[in-house]
Chains A and B, each alone.
Chain A
Amino acid sequence: MSALGKRALHLFLVVFAASSVTFLMVDLLPGDAAYQIAGDTATLEDVQAIREELGLNRSLVLRYMNWLADVARGDLGVSYLTREPVREAIMARLPVTIELMIAAQLIALVLSVPAGIYSGYRPRSCIDRILGSTSFAVMSIPVFVMALVLIYLFALKLGWLPATGYVPLSADPVANIRSMLLPALSIALVEWVPLMRVLRSDMIDTLHEDYILMARSKGLPTHTILFRHALRPSLFTLVTLFGIQVGHLIGGALIVETIFALPGIGRLLIGAIFSRDIIVVQGCILFIAVAYVAVNFLVDISYTLLDPRIRRGGGGWLTAPHIR
Chain B
Amino acid sequence: MTASKDAVQAPLLRVENLGVLLQNEGRVVRVVDAVSFRLKQGETLGIVGESGCGKTLLCRSLLGLLPGCAAVAPDAKAFFDGKDLFRLSESSLNKVRAAGIAMIFQDPLSSLNPVMTIGRQICEPLVHHLGMTARKARSRAVELLHSVGVSGAEQRVDHYPHQMSGGMRQRVAIAIALSCGPKLLIADEPTTALDVTVQAAILDLLMRVQAGSKTGMILVTHDLRVAATRTHEVAVMYAGRIVERISAGALFTHMRVPYTRALVDAIPKMDRPPHAPLHAIEGRPPGPAGAIYGCAFAPRCDRAIEKCRARTPPMRSDRSGRHWYACWNPIQEPAP
Interface positions of A (Cβ within 8 A of B): 209-211, 213-221, 224, 228-229, 232-233, 306-309, 312-313
Contact = CB atoms under 8 A, between A and B. Distances in A.
B107 A210 contact: yes
Contacts of A308: 114-115, 160, 162
Given A308-B162, A313-B162, A218 B97 contact: yes
Contact of B113 (A221, A233, A313): A233
A306 B115 contact: yes
A219 to B, nearest CB: 3
Among the interface residues B60, B63, B103, B113, which one has the most CB atoms of the partner chain A within 10 A? Answer: B113
B94 interface: yes
B98 A217 contact: yes
Nearest to B177: A217
B304 to A, nearest CB: 38
A217 B124 contact: no
12 contacts: A210-B107, A211-B110, A214-B103, A214-B176, A215-B124, A218-B128, A219-B128, A224-B124, A228-B116, A229-B116, A232-B115, A233-B114
- 4 interchain residue pairs of minimum CB distance: A219-B97, A210-B110, A219-B94, A211-B113
Contacts of B102: 217-218
Given A210-B105, A309-B162, A218 B114 contact: no
Given A308-B160, A312-B163, A218 B176 contact: yes
Nearest to B106: A210
Contacts of A228: 116
A215 B113 contact: yes
Contact of A217 (B97, B112, B114, B160): B97
Q: Report the contact-size class of chain B (Cβ under 8 Å from the partner).
A: 20 to 34
Interface of B: 60, 63, 65, 91, 93-99, 102-103, 105, 107, 110-116, 124-125, 128-129, 160, 162-163, 173, 176
A218 B124 CA distance: 8
B110 A209 contact: yes
Contacts of B94: 219-221
A308 B91 CA distance: 32
A307 B125 contact: no
Contacts of A211: 110-114
Contact of A218 (B98, B115, B163): B98
Nearest to A214: B111
B63 A214 contact: no
A12 B97 CA distance: 56
A232 B114 CA distance: 10
B115 A219 contact: no
Contacts of B176: 214, 218
Given A215-B113, A218-B176, A219-B99, 15 more contacts: A211-B111, A211-B114, A214-B105, A217-B65, A217-B98, A217-B103, A217-B105, A218-B97, A218-B128, A219-B95, A219-B96, A220-B94, A306-B115, A307-B114, A307-B115
Contacts of B96: 219
Contacts of B103: 214, 217
B143 to A, nearest CB: 18
A41 B102 CA distance: 88
